[in-house]
Amino acid sequence: MINQFLKIFKKSRFVLYYQIVDKLFFFILFLILARLLSVDNYGNIVLLFSVSNILMFVFQFGLPVYLQRQVARNNVVDKSDLSSALYYGFTSFLISTFIMLLIFHFYYANTNYSLIVILHSFVYSFYFISILNSILLGKREEKIQFISYSSVRLLSIILIISLLIVYPSIILFILIGLIGNIIIALSFYKFILNKFTPVRNTTRSLSNSLKSIFIYSFPIGVAAMVNFLYDKIDIIIISEIIDIEKVAFYNIAYGVYKSSNLLFSFILVSGFTRVSSLSLRKFAVKIFLRKYSYYILTISVSASIALYFSSEILINLIYGEKYIPAVILLQYLSFSVIPLALNNLTGITMNGLGMYKENMYVVLIALLINIALNIVLLLNLGIIGAVYATIITEVFILICDAFYLKNKLW
């Protein structure tokens, strides 16, 4: 079993490496922002990122998942699909930027329009990276991802730290991230054109290609959008029911908790490509699910225990004493690591099997439950209520996913 795990790790190691580099970049960026800004101002930046990310995922519509599965199954890069996804990305970026400006103009005072545009451009640039990234993952070309990410992110970190000493500016920090993302996206695009020579489907126009993609990716898109909303909506609810200061505490605890994804997500990224290629062989998928369940459960239990006992040290050492209230939140969230990890496995397995609608139903109901729980528990228990809502929702998703997979495979 250990030898099999090492074999999987070797195949997936570049995914882990570039995820570590990317996590390190955002860790340093948000750490600098948390220490540079007051708690209230940091909470406002977190809110900006949350709203921008929600808009990006709403417009992304699950296209990366669809493209990765198509490339993995067919072993061909469809130039019509790729061009359509990129064209749609530029159009949706302009629309989402306008919506972002409207939201903060009417609902939030002291709006800095330059900061909003640059921050949203930075966030939305991940749409293009994820589209191109999905092609590379479908073709199992993870090494180029690591090379691009590591070189660009390392340079970005050096520039940000240098500016912190000479001329600290939030807008400049985010602008550096945006320029880095553009360079990464261009390097991915050039590699895909040179290495795979995408085949154009001459029977489909741009509009027909987009229509075809959206028909198949609609359930994926809804599921991805809802899943991301579930991941971010609590920030907005907390800001409305309690206050911005509590948003800062919760965001830090939740960010550390979600960082535990790094310990198992790299296996599942390549695992999705694997299960997509096995989707027509039910027995092979069952073996995949059993084997990966053992790996994920072992990793997540260990991570949960370690996170619980190291919460105070992590928060105090990394963020400082002013964020100590986040410790208790992180300790409780550590119990949710296990269902979170298993949900990631069942989710990629369902998508790999083409169970898009079933996955959509589960996450849609989970979102509604999570919103209801957040409102009720926040009003009655305070900020700890958001943590309870997360734990309950993750367990609910796991039970539903297991039910659908059991009916499909057994």
Please name which of 270, 269, 263, 272 lies closest in space to residue 295, comparing C-alpha atoms: 263
**Six-digit token string for 333:** 């969230």
Give me the amino acid identity at 50: S
Mean pLDDT of 115-124: 91
More confident site: 341 or 231: 341
SS3 content of the chain, % helix, strand, coil (to 5): 90, 0, 10
What CA–CA distance (Å, rounded) separates 373 from 238?
12
pLDDT tens, residue by residue, 129-166: 989 988 888 887 878 888 888 889 889 888 888 888 88
What CA–CA distance (Å, rounded) separates 350 from 82?
24
Q: Which pLDDT does position 207 carry in this prediction? A: 63
SS3 199: strand
The domain tally of the chain equals 1
Question: What's the domain range around 223?
Answer: 2-409
What share of the chain in percent tops pLDDT 70?
93
What share of the chain in percent tops pLDDT 90?
31
SS3 78: strand
Give 178's pLDDT tier (boundaries 50, 70, 90). very high
**Residues 340, 54 contacting (CB under 8 angstroms):** no
Mean pLDDT of 68-72: 80
**Six-digit token string for 227:** 């899943």
Q: Which pLDDT does position 386 carry in this prediction? A: 92
Give 70's pLDDT tier (boundaries 50, 70, 90). confident
Phi/psi region, residue 16 (left: phi>0; alpha: psi -120 to 50; beta: rest), is: alpha
What DSSP string describes 218-262? HHHHHHHHHHHHHHHHHHHHHHHHS-HHHHHHHHHHHHHHHHTTH
**Six-digit token string for 266:** 């790299």
Global confidence as pTM? 0.71
Q: Which pLDDT does position 84 carry in this prediction? A: 84
Average pLDDT, the chain: 85
Q: Which pLDDT does position 198 carry in this prediction? A: 63
For residue 199, the cross-strand partners are: 78
